[in-house]
Chain A
Amino acid sequence: QQQVKQSPQSLIVQKGGISIINCAYENTAFDYFPWYQQFPGKGPALLIAIRPDVSEKKEGRFTISFNKSAKQFSLHIMDSQPGDSATYFCAARNTGNQFYFGTGTSLTVIP
């Protein structure tokens, strides 16, 4: 049973457009929600993260929106660039410091 559900599976965006990836969870014990970026042949790398007491966090072109009551969070990539083409994973951490990942979104940004 997937603890963190992620959509869409793949996404194609024009350069300069906005990329939006959504995640949902059920376990209210999750207390930390990171997003990871992964390039082919590499390990995932932390992109941005949020705690549930904050509704939005922005770092450069990347923004996390968090809706605690709906148990949903999303990643917005503004002014998407071809270099952003990668696979993105949302994740959630439980109080036992174990992380549960979404199934990933393959993003392609067309020049």
Chain B
Amino acid sequence: NAGVTQTPKFQVLKTGQSMTLQCAQDMNHNSMYWYRQDPGMGLRLIYYSASEGTTDKGEVPNGYNVSRLNKREFSLRLESAAPSQTSVYFCASRWGGYNEQFFGPGTRLTVL
């Protein structure tokens, strides 16, 4: 089992460019999450998907869109990147209930 995988690992964008961060899990989990991690801020939830076909906004959704393509995949799109979106992005998944949340290795994004 690969667990939670994220691509790419690193990305540099110019202001205004768009890109999609990919996330996939092979644990048959229902719920998937996108977080951003910034120094001194901890992890903040961007979007959450309870199941295939559903998505909900988290704490910091502005400037992002998501797609729950199927049960395995949950992508995060930046339509017009801004320097404030420079961060490390983590995808996570969990079965539900009180079960553990598993995190991917992260994508380090720099917006110039």
Contacts and interface: CB of A to CB of B under 8 A. Distances in A.
B82 to A, nearest CB: 22
Contacts, number: 56
Interface in B41-77: 41-45, 48, 50, 56, 58-59
Given A49-B98, A101-B42, A44 B103 contact: yes
Given A49-B98, A51-B98, A100 B45 contact: yes
Interface residues of B, number: 26
Contacts of B105: 41-43
A54 to B, nearest CB: 12
Contact of B106 (A34, A43, A45): A43
B48 A97 contact: yes
13 contacts: A9-B40, A32-B98, A43-B4, A43-B104, A44-B103, A89-B42, A96-B56, A98-B58, A99-B33, A99-B45, A100-B45, A103-B40, A103-B41
